[in-house]
């Protein structure tokens, strides 16, 4: 389940109020926040200062060097640098200023009217106009990218609802890292619901990438949200999800859903989804788990981390009829203070630049004693540090902790 794209760490957009009718801005009331705001403003001012600083350095160097050495042609770098860093209007101002300052330098050196001086000024004019065109194109691409990101974020929120921080006696924290960072949407998915049969959690991973994987994720999530509230048996929920996956595969491949010896379903084995279904029955200190070809979860009990390996592994969703394996529910003790860590293979198959896999089992004990949110944040940070911010596959992780009863 590996794609080959690059990722920086995912971003989480924040919204702030432009007006503060109740009083002064928050950063004006808190000295530490005010200092951070000044630091951010200073960092943002650096790109604007770079072209101006370059212009000043070139002008002073040209004035201080001997008459036989003229560095004013280097002024052509000013509009180019401005086009990369600044909007269209400041770029136009700096391009005009570069031509004007160069003309003054040549007048001071007595070179005005000479052919080589005209060539330098003409070159600066052409470079300035080209820089303006490049700046306009860059800004248009940035606006398009911003729109694509906004649409992708909206689709992601509609597809995968924000993970609730609390479900009854359970605390939940999760992280989702799509490999396709510009799209911010992928084939990994999770959901946590409060149902009449207790809290239920789904963690899954669709094989493949692109729109087919997203469509399969949407179909499975929609089916789980319906079935989790309707079906009392968790194994029945898994069977229905397997049936839904087969119908989705047949629709994507454009083939009948028979796949029995006539070759019409040859592509079937290339499409499936692995999943873990977890149920926490009310009034019982246990977790009921159904494996569907997914990596085994980790249980954290009294500071000890161990994998919960199924005695009867289940088939991935979409392959149940071919493999003839029915889902089986298994239980694990889950008392107050225990944690259950669910994840997709992006967390264990991520490689560093030397080809070494990320060892989730080795990193979990390091963070297991920390608060739940700090544990998830630490695992996310260590994964991105391991791959140097370059994930090859989507990665998702959900940690569930049983809280003491009030």
Q: Give 240-252 pLDDT, tens digit per residue.
A: 999 888 887 766 6
Q: What is the pLDDT of residue 38?
A: 57
User: Comparing C-alpha atoms, which of 158, 150, 146, 227 is closest to residue 189?
Assistant: 158
pLDDT tens per residue across span 273-296: 899 999 999 989 999 999 999 999
Do 303 and 373 share a domain, yes or no?
Answer: yes
| Model pLDDT, residue 152 | 67
Residue 175 parent element (H or E): strand 170-177
Q: Tokens 């161990």, residue?
A: 306
325, part of any domain: yes
> Does the pTM of the predicted model rise above 0.85?
no
If asked whether residues 194 and 313 sit together in one domain, one would say yes
Q: In the structure encoding, which two tokens stand for residue 2, read together?
A: 């590996």
Same domain, 301 and 365: yes
The answer to whether residue 8 scores a pLDDT higher than 50 is: no
How far is 106 from 116, CA to CA, in rounded Å?
10
Residue 393, C-beta contacts closer than 8 angstroms, at least 6 positions apart: 1, 2, 3, 179, 345, 346, 349, 350
Q: How far apart are CA 305 and CA 298, in angstroms?
A: 7
Task: Taking residues 339-358, report their average pLDDT.
Answer: 91
pLDDT of residue 325: 74
pLDDT of residue 252: 60
How far is C-alpha 295 from the geometric centre of its chain's CA atoms? 21
User: Which ranges of 278-334 does DSSP label H, i.e. alpha helix?
Assistant: 320-323
Q: How far apart are CA 281 and CA 405, in angstroms?
A: 14
Of the residues 153, 188, 216, the one at which a domain ends: 153
Indicate whether 358 and 389 sit together in one domain: yes
In a domain, 9, yes or no: no
Tell the residue number behind the tokens 């159904």, with chain if given. Answer: 290
Same domain, 248 and 371: yes
Same domain for 139 and 87: yes
Based on the fold, state whether residues 198 and 101 are members of the same structural domain.
no
> Considering the domain boundaries, does residue 226 fall inside one?
yes
DSSP result, 32-62 = HHHHHHHHHHHHHHHHHHHHHHHHHHHHHHH
Average confidence score pLDDT of the chain: 80
> Does pLDDT of 182 surpass 90?
no
What are the tokens at 142?
Answer: 């940035």
User: pLDDT tens digits, residue range 151-171?
Assistant: 766 666 667 788 999 998 999
Shared-domain flag, residues 341 and 221: yes
The CB density around residue 46, as the number of other CB atoms within 10 Å, is 10
For 145, list phi and psi in degrees, rounded to 5: -65, -40
142 forms beta bridges with none
What one-character DSSP code corresponds to residue 87?
Answer: -
Same domain, 207 and 79: no
pLDDT tops 50 at residue 15: no
> What is the number of structural domains in the chain?
2
Question: Of 100, 127, 153, which residue sits at a domain end?
Answer: 153
Pairing of strands 329-333, 286-292: antiparallel
> Are residue 373 and residue 227 in the same domain, yes or no?
yes
33 lies in the same domain as 145? yes
Is 213 within the bounds of a domain?
yes
Q: How many residues does the chain have?
A: 406
From CA 328, how far away is CA 307, in angstroms rounded? 18
Instruction: For the chain, report the end-to-end CA distance as a whole number of angstroms.
Output: 42
When pLDDT is averaged across residues 90-101 and rounded to a whole number, the result is 91
Same domain (yes/no): 145, 169: no
Which of 153, 175, 191 is at the close of a domain? 153
Q: If pLDDT is split at 50, 70 and 90, which confidence band does 109 have?
A: confident
Is 10 a domain residue? no
**What is the CATH number for 381?**
3.60.40.10
Q: What are phi and psi of 54, to 5 degrees?
A: -65, -40
Check whether 10 has a pLDDT greater than 50. Answer: no
Is 18 contained in some domain?
A: no
Task: Confirm whether 364 is domain-assigned.
Answer: yes
7 falls within a domain: no
Structural domain including 249 reads 165-402
């Amino acid at each position: 389940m590996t794609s080959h794209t690059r990722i920086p760490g995912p971003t989480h957009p924040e919204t702030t109020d432009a007006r503060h009718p109740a009083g002064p801005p928050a950063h004006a009331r808190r000295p530490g926040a005010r200092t951070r705001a000044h630091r951010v403003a200073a960092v943002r001012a650096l790109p604007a200062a770079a072209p101006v600083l370059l212009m000043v350095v070139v002008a002073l160097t040209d004035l201080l060097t001997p008459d036989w050495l003229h560095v004013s042609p280097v002024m052509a770098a000013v509009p180019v640098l401005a086009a990369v860093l600044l909007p269209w209007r400041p770029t136009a101002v700096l391009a005009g200023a570069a031509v004007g300052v160069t003309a003054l330098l040549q007048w001071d050196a007595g070179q005005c009217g000479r052919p080589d001086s005209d060539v330098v000024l003409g070159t600066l004019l052409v470079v300035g106009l080209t820089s303006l065109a490049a700046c306009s194109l860059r800004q248009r691409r940035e606006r398009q990218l911003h729109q694509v990101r906004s649409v992708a974020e909206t689709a992601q929120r509609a597809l995968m609802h924000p993970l609730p921080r609390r479900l009854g006696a359970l605390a939940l924290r999760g992280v989702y890292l799509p490999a396709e960072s510009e799209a911010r949407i992928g084939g990994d998915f999770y959901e946590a619901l409060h149902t009449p049969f207790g809290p239920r959690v789904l963690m899954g991973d669709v094989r493949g990438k692109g729109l087919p994987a997203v469509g399969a994720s949407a179909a499975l999530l929609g089916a789980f949200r319906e079935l989790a509230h309707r079906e009392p048996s968790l194994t029945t929920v898994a069977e229905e999800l397997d049936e839904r996956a087969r119908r989705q595969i047949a629709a994507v491949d454009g083939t009948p859903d028979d796949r029995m010896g006539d070759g019409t379903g040859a592509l079937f084995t290339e499409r499936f989804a692995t999943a873990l279904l977890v149920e926490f029955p009310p009034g019982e200190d246990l977790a009921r788990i159904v494996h569907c070809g997914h990596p085994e979860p980790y249980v954290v009990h009294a500071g000890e981390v161990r994998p919960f390996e199924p005695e009867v592994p289940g088939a991935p969703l979409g392959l149940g009829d071919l493999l003839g394996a029915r889902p089986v529910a298994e239980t694990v003790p889950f008392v107050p203070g225990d944690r259950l860590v669910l994840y997709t293979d992006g967390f264990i198959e991520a490689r560093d630049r030397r080809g070494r896999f990320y060892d989730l089992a080795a990193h979990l004990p390091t963070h297991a004693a920390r608060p739940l949110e700090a544990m998830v944040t630490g695992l996310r940070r260590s994964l991105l540090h391991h791959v140097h911010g370059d994930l090859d596959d989507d990665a998702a992780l959900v940690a569930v902790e049983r809280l003491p009863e009030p």
